[in-house]
Amino acid sequence: MTSPLEPLQPSPTFPPADGPVLLIVLDGVGIGPGDEGDAVAQARTPTLDRLFARCPNTELKAHGFAVGLPSDKDMGNSEVGHNALGAGQIVAQGAKRVNQAIEDGAIFATDLWGQMVARCEAGGALHLIGLLSDGNVHSHERHVHALIRQAAEEGVQRLRLHILTDGRDVGAQTSLTYIARVEEVFASLDGVDYQIASGGGRMITTMDRYEADWSIVERGWRAHVLGDARPARSAREAIEAARAEDEDLSDQYVPPFVVTDEAGTPVGTIEDGDGALFFNFRGDRAIEICRAFDEDDFPYFDRERRPDVLFAGMTLYDGDRNIPAHYMVAPPDISRTMGEYMARSGIRQFACSETQKYGHVTYFWNGNRSGQFAPDLEHYVEVPSDNVPFEQRPWMKAAEITDVTLDAMRGSAFQFGRINLANGDMVGHTGHLEAAILSVEAVDLCLERLVDAAEETRTTLVILADHGNADNMFERDKQGAIKRDERGRTKPHTSHTLSPVPCIIFRPWADTPPSFRDDLDAPGLANVAATVLELMGFEPPAHFEPSLLARP
């Protein structure tokens, strides 16, 4: 049984801070190769350059084992990164938990899976909906393949796959590879009717997050459920037709489509009596489609009809709101986080970002928990994101986030604050090098303002990133060299990277400036929580990963 949460105690080693501490996440700004494909290195960043030259700094791991992923080949992402930052612990994440549940068969032994199969035995179809790729950020194709094979083994006669094409966590135009592989799985099965029924690019179909644009979910609903989208005889035909109109089209923007038979009838609408499983394991872009299936009172768009189906998610995407109502694999239990300890200790907290990353400095930071631990002590500010392609406005809302934060700093509104400047990640995902360079420069301009205010208010700054992205904008070979075609052209890289991330501490007025210890083996993002607490003069909880700070 977990013992009651005790308030934080003063550190016997580190004195109380003489001002607040602000943690600044430069989202997607990793430490890359420094060449022409590295937007971070190419950007003009006088503030970052000055901080690196004058302040204690180190590198942190932000991928793989360091953030609870199955292997060190797995890229980090903002969700697991902010989990690690806020929790101070390395927690087995969704990908790892789903891998285990599939490998040991636990997922197929659940009552819920049995109910799905029973529906199909009674004449229904099994629908699998989700991101088809091996990016391992939102989903992994091997999970889909395993679900398909198990369904066939248990006698499911009709299965329809509704695919969301990636182009973001994997190569920009790789969807046909994943389609070919899943169709090979279909072809290996005898006596069943399994096929792709609908699809669309993840950024315009189904996978909205933080209620930024419900029309994205509506497009998915119309394609997957109603069979109302651009018709094609196959998923391959749909994607090839889209590329014929725009040869550089990234998979993330493939228009929604429906696969039809010779008569033009959709092959896989979702009907009463069916079972439907959304197989993504990451929650942020899964919540809204789950609500469309689960909620009776649903005001966001006209569903036209809501089929009577058994709907489930791969895991629980929002524990506070119980979304979805049914799920296959229990989520990680992330408790006793830094935010919870601070609330218990009476520490005033501040969190701010724009819509695209607001949930990261709140929900994910607090261990996948909605709301606040102590509303009277916590002030959260969401700056509404612009609803335009990120490469068209690479500065995003960095200036507005900075304005809000400066007011909070000068108004003594917090003892610990955290903000996320999303530019390097969101613009990096577009594959547009020049826009990514501008995005990093915009962040650097904002950082200059924050540094000036930190000196004025004696606010200690902890500046870092949650993972890499803008540090590599071109595809590379296994040796790290930039790939070029026969005409010398590069190909955009739109996914995260395995790069380490910087960690800088700004406290120039201190008589004894903090310094980083050198005896930790591959320190990562989970070490930051204890570091922040020591900077504030508190003793970190024993279960936290060790602090990065050297003893004074």
What digits encode the pLDDT tens for the residues 17-71?
899 999 999 999 999 999 999 999 999 999 999 999 999 999 999 999 999 887 8
Question: Where are the domains positioned within the chain?
Answer: 17-92+333-539, 95-329
- Return mean pLDDT, the chain: 95
Beta bridge partner(s), residue 230? 257
Range from 130-134, 257-261, 316-320, 470-474 carrying the lowest mean pLDDT:
316-320
Give phi and psi for 286, each to the nearest 5. Answer: -105, -25
Query: Rounded distance, CA 469 to CA 75, Å?
Result: 10
Please name the residues in contact with 105: beta carbons below 8 A apart, sequence gap of 6 or more: none
CA–CA dist 437, 348 (Å, integer): 35
370 included as an active-site residue: no
pLDDT at 390: 94
Tokens of 196: 């792709």
Residues sharing a CB contact under 8 Å with residue 35, sequence separation 6 or more, in sequence order: 41, 482
Contact 26, 465 (CB under 8 A): yes
Q: How far apart are CA 277 and CA 315, in angstroms?
A: 10
> Can you state the angle between helices 287-294 and 214-221, rounded to 10 degrees?
60
pLDDT at 320: 57
Tens digit of each residue's pLDDT (9 = 90 or more) over 334-379: 899 999 999 999 999 999 999 999 999 999 999 988 899 999 999 9
Q: Is the dihedral of CA 25, 27, 32, 38 positive or negative?
A: negative
Q: Positive or negative CA dihedral for 133, 228, 302, 119?
A: negative
How many Cβ atoms sit within 10 Å of the Cβ of residue 305? 12
Mean pLDDT of 192-203: 98
pLDDT at 96: 86
Are 32 and 472 in contact by the 8 Å Cβ rule? The answer is yes
- Mean pLDDT over 441-462 rounds to 98
Provide CB contacts within 8 A for 476, sequence distance 6+: 37, 482, 483, 493
> In the structure, what pLDDT confidence band is assigned to residue 213 with cuts at 50, 70 and 90?
very high
506 pLDDT more than 60: yes
Q: What is the pLDDT of residue 338?
A: 97
Q: What backbone torsions phi and psi does residue 327 show, to the nearest 5 degrees?
A: -150, 155
Among 83-87, 93-97, 474-478, the minimum mean pLDDT is found in 93-97
Residue 223 DSSP symbol: I
Judged by average pLDDT, the poorest of 75-89, 256-270, 318-332 is 318-332
Closest CA to 281 of 232, 234, 314: 314
For 110-119, 412-421, 473-482, 536-545, which range has the lowest pLDDT when averaged over its residues?
A: 473-482
User: Domain 95-329 belongs to what architecture?
Assistant: 3-Layer(aba) Sandwich (3.40)
Residues 6+ apart with CB under 8 A from 194: 148, 152, 158, 159, 160, 161, 186
Q: Which amino acid is at 477?
A: D
Q: How many separate helices (H) and strands (E) can be counted in the chain?
A: 16, 17
Question: Which two structure tokens, joined as six digits, stand for 352?
Answer: 């701010």
Looking at residue 427, its pLDDT comes to 97
Of 438, 431, 359, the residue nearest 77 (C-alpha) = 359
Long-range contacts of range 448-453, CB-CB < 8 Å, 24 or more positions apart?
Answer: 448/46, 448/47, 449/402, 449/406, 450/22, 450/24, 450/402, 450/405, 450/406, 450/409, 451/47, 451/51, 451/506, 453/406, 453/409, 453/410
pLDDT tens track for 275-293? 999 999 988 899 999 999 9
Provide the 8-state DSSP code for 68: T
Distances (CA, A) of 185 to 25, 95, 227: 41, 21, 24
| pLDDT confidence of residue 2 | 52
Of the residues 3, 71, 78, 547, only one is catalytic, namely 78
pLDDT of residue 1: 41
Q: Judge if pTM exceeds 0.85.
A: no
Average pLDDT over residues 439-458: 98
Residue pLDDT, tens place only, 90-145: 988 878 889 999 999 999 999 999 999 999 999 999 999 999 999 988 999 999 99
d(CA 147, CA 409): 51
Q: How far is Cα 232 from Cα 191, in angstroms, rounded to an integer?
A: 24
Distances, alpha carbon 187 to alpha carbons 24, 116, 192, 276, in Å: 50, 23, 10, 22
What pLDDT digit, counting tens, does each position of 393-445 carry?
999 999 999 999 999 999 999 999 999 999 999 999 999 999 999 999 999 99
Class of domain 17-92+333-539: alpha beta
pLDDT > 90? residue 75: no
> Which residues have CB under 8 Å from 90's CB, separation 6+?
65, 66, 67, 68, 84, 524, 526, 545
Residue 449 corresponds to which tokens in the numbers above? Answer: 């303002």
Query: Quick one: tokens of 205?
Result: 């179909």
Q: What is the pLDDT of residue 93?
A: 80
Radius of gyration of the chain (CA): 24
Within its chain, how far is the Cα of 349 from the centroid?
23
Q: Answer whether 17-92+333-539 and 95-329 agree in fold.
A: no
User: Residue 212's pLDDT band (boundaries 50, 70, 90)?
Assistant: confident
Report whether pLDDT(3) > 70.
no
Please choose, from the candidates 26, 83, 8, 20, the residue with its C-alpha nearest in 3D space to the C-alpha of residue 416: 20
Q: Mind giving me the DSSP string for 459-477?
A: -EEEEE-SSBSTT--B-B-
Q: Which residue is it, tokens 């070979």?
A: 477
